[in-house]
Every structure is written in structure tokens, then in C-alpha cells.
Amino acid sequence: MSIAKPETVQQLYLDFDGFFASVEQQAKPRLRGKPVGVVPFDTTDFTSVIACSKEAKARGVKNVMPIREAKRLCHDLILVPQSPDLYRRAHLSLINEITSVIPIEAIKSIDELTCRLDQRDKRDPRALALKIQSTIRKNIGPHITCSIGIAANRLLAKIACKMDKPNGITIWHPDDMPAPLLPVPFDDIPGVGSRMRKRLYKAGIFTTEQLINADPKHMRLLWRNVTGERLWYALNGYEVKAEPSKRGMFGHSRVLPPESRSKPEAKACARLLLVKAARRMRREGYYATKLWLHFSLRLNPKLTVSYSGDLSFPAAQDDQACLRAFDRLWRETLLQIPRYGKIIRIGVSLYNLQQASGRQLDLFADDDDTRQKWESLNNAIDSLNEKYGKTIVSIGPWQPPAGGYAGGKIAYTRVPSAEDFW
């Protein structure tokens, strides 16, 4: 971890306002200026609004709010089924426009990114922010807006970005700090979750001012790792360069439509999600040695319980090996759960990853010629699907669930690729 304290602004953080709903409004004129809630599918009121427009937010609607509660607050709320591929294409178009103004240092999610300022931009950061907003307005449209924060480091720029939404610009110069930061509640500080708030309260730290005046080593103890110390330095205006993170897993999950909540249909969906995760894993050059299966089971209208199981298997990346492990894990996990109830959410993850370039064959772990032939077959299948831009060949049945977008749903923490929609 390297630490330096800049004397001027260094980072720009951009967050699109109500991204999914605003993309729907830009693409569909009938939605413009109206309260919009994006939902997983349009066949039930027993799910949540996963994103909402600024008009809906002004009426009290929030992201991840139950649909029935949202409708009580906003009777004329327009519910729109998610369009993940539309959001992916909008993201790519927006990235192209922003790149024409300033190079992007990192894409943090489908609706957030960060840029490093050059010497010219440091002299007039507001002009830079205004140019980005006007370029988007002119070349994409006026209904997709963004809020921008500019500060000495990425964390402070991210916090500043939330201060004047929507379509705002907030600049925190090092000479002005820490005054603008002091009123910020813990909820608005990335890295301070509900559990961490409890620890801070027990330590006698109740405000952001007390947090930034604490001892950095004390922060390390409270967080029980170096993250707390890094956070302290970032809040105090230092630019902290941590080691790059490593890929931990490949996974997908899915809320099942009401008509698809039986165990056979949940298994078919999980199987498809696993194949999509394995495809992503191969594209990025990894093998996995563990599989995790998790799901939520609704036993009655007021009781939902979670179940999960995992299974180790010899390092593999091909569909046949992953599906064989899945079949075994599914049988073992189902032994834990009641026979009645409906599976409302299902997810699978491949983890404990190894780089394909560093993998060595294991003569004693099912790593023989047969395994390598399955990998060659899978490479041929991937090539055919890539050539035609859709799933035309698969190992076993390919049964997308009702509602579509299995493996390509709304993505908060990553940007889906075109292959996720095959």
C-alpha cells in the first residue's frame, strides 16, 4: 500500500442518475417525465422495483422496494420489465462519448466510472464536468443524466458525487477539506456498512468527524484488517494505492417467475446459469475447483428460508465437468430441504479459481485424455456459438426460464458482455 497526499484535485467520479430507468425513458418517449419503476418481470406484484426514475424517487419510491409498497406511495407508477441488453448497449455508447472528452481510468460498474485528471483539467475541473454532461446530452439525449464528484482521491470523489443528485457537480478541493465531509452520515461512506457502524458505535465513534480524527491503527483494529486503515487515509485526503484485486468467482443468480418455482424448473434454470458462468470463466482463462449452489425457499407467505451447499472437484472449466458436479451437488442439497415450498431464487457460483496458464495436469484427479477431449469439444461449441451470436449448440438441454435474460440480468457490479445474452 503506497500513500501520498495530493495538493490538488486528482480524481473525477461519475455516477449516472437512475441509470436503468433513465435509459428506458431515453429509449421510450411514452415514459419521459413520468414515474418509472424497472421490475424483473411483469407477471407478478410479488417482486421488487429494482430501479426507479427520478420522478418516482421524488414520490418516495426507492430501489429494491417491494412493488406493492411502491404503488402505495406512487399510484401512477409505470412498471417496466428489465431490458438488460438495452442497458449494456447504452453503457457502451455513453463510455464512447465520455472517452471523447477524457480517458477513463476504471469502469466501476455499469453506471459508475472514474477518471484521472491531467494538468489542464485540474486547472478548471468544473469546465471538464460541464463538457462531459453536455456531450452526453447532445449525442445521447437529455434523459440520461449523470452526477460528478471531483476530489483528491477516488473515495472522496465518489462521496462528493452523491452530494448533488441528479445532474449535479461537486468539487472538493484539498484546501477546503475536511469541512464538506463532516456532515456526511456513515451510510454515505463506501465501506461503512451496518455491521461496521455497530462496531464504530461501540468504540465511541458516532460521526464522520470523529472517524477522520481517530487513529489509523485503531481503524485497522476495528475493521480487523488493513481496509480500515486505508479508509482512514482516504477520508483524510491521501491517495491510497492498494494491490489490485484478484478474480474470486464466476456466478449467476436469478429470481424465478411465479410459474417457474417448482424444483424441476429451478434445477433447469440453475443448470443454464452454471453453463453461462462456465462460459465466462473460459473466456477469462480460469479453471475452478469448487461449486456453490444457493437458493431461497418460500415455505409459506410469511416464511422464506435460505439453503446452500458446495462441492469440491478436480480443476475444470468445461461444461461436462461442471454439470456433473452440479448434478451431484443438487441431489445432496435437496436432501436438506422440505419437500414442500417453492424455490423463489436460485444461484450458482464457480470459485477457488486457478489461472489456466498456470494449471498443471494431475494424473490422479480425473485429468486424463478424456477430460482434455471434453475441453476440446467445449472449445468447438464455444466457437460455433460465437460465430452465430447465440446458443445453437449445448451439452444437454437448453431451457431458458420464463422472463428471459438468464445470466444477463440487470448488473449492478459488472458490465454484461454480448455473450451473456446468448
- Catalytic residue numbers, as ranges: 112
Give dist(CA 278, CA 280) in Å, integer.
5
Q: Which pairs count as long-range contacts for 319-324, CB under 8 Å and 24+ apart, including other chains?
A: 319/275, 319/278, 319/378, 319/381, 319/394, 319/395, 320/374, 320/377, 320/378, 320/395, 321/371, 321/374, 322/274, 322/275, 322/278, 322/288, 322/291, 322/350, 323/271, 323/274, 323/275, 323/395, 323/396
Beta strand 342-355 with 11-16 is unpaired
Residue 22 identity (one-letter amino acid): S
